Amino acid sequence: MKKQKIVVGSRDSKLAVMQTELIMHEINRNNPEIELELVTLKTTGDLILDQSLDKIGGKGLFVKELDLALLDGRIDIAVHSLKDMPMEENKELPIVALPKRGDARDVLVLPKGCEFIEYEDMNLYYQNIGSSSARRKLQIQKLLPSAGTSGVRGNVITRLDKLDRGEYTSLILAAAGLQRVGLPHRISHYFSVEEMIPAAGQGILSIQARRDLNVDFLENIKDANTTYASLAERSFVRTLDGGCSSPIAAYAAVEGEELKLVGLYYNEKTTEHRVATVVDHKERAERVGEQLALRLRGEIG
């Protein structure tokens, strides 16, 4: 009998491909009867590297080309980092599966050969920290008031090359990305989620498909707790209308039946920011995110 074939789409960066291959491995492990084909595409967000994302259209630039490929049938499913996806879900191209979350933390990366310097002795490396994230910049200034930051674009490998050439004294990156490309040894320090609240969806891979595709073959790779956490985090950011330029952060963790959500809200008019935490039942995840967002927005205008 002829195997069912599923064409899987990915951005063509090394990290995106390796993440997609992780998902493909899990699909094959649970569905050996399915034949998988990988198709990679360059996205607008990958091609325009000399401007910040908020200047060129935001997170949607990392998914637009893959969305078009889904709609016209060139691919059947697409794999994304959830934090790169717009908060408003496309009803024609829903997120159909979220596997178990990877490491959600942010990390500090030093130039090659300097990885093992004690964290307390790294003042030299805070002079020019590479990060284009307003969320990271806001929180690093709170942790290290004397630190300087500069914008940096490009995939993980490109950013590390810029660091090692001396363009930056250090970088702040997502732990999961470095781990997935086999470079955990480049990490010099892990920030706790309390020190630096992650971006909504950080560490989570998402699978997107056309609405009419039968996705029963993904059932065994879905993770319920990751789904609850993502619902809370994305609801928080969506309620605040937070785009990629807004220093908004949200991180949820599920233990048993309880969901704990911590959120950061920044008011661009007053430049005030506030952090708050709420604990509720996991089944109320989406509502919890919305309520925490409304509470924080009400507290600082």
Residues whose CB falls within 8 Å of the CB of residue 221, separated by 6 or more in sequence, listed in order: 23, 26, 27, 30, 97, 99
Locate 121 and state its tokens.
């002795």
46, 84, 106, 280: which one is catalytic?
Answer: 84
- Determine how many CB atoms are found less than 10 A away from the CB of residue 166: 9
84 is catalytic: yes
| Cα–Cα distance measured from residue 30 to residue 281, given in angstroms and rounded to the nearest whole number | 31
Coil vs helix vs strand at 176 = helix
Residues whose CB falls within 8 Å of the CB of residue 240, separated by 6 or more in sequence, listed in order: 246, 248, 265, 293, 296, 297
HSE toward the beta carbon, residue 221, CA cutoff 13 A:
22
What is the phi/psi pair of residue 165, to 5°? -85, -5
Angle, CA of 174, 179 and 180, to the nearest 5°: 100
| Cα–Cα distance measured from residue 163 to residue 156, given in angstroms and rounded to the nearest whole number | 11
Which residues participate in catalysis according to the annotation?
A: 84
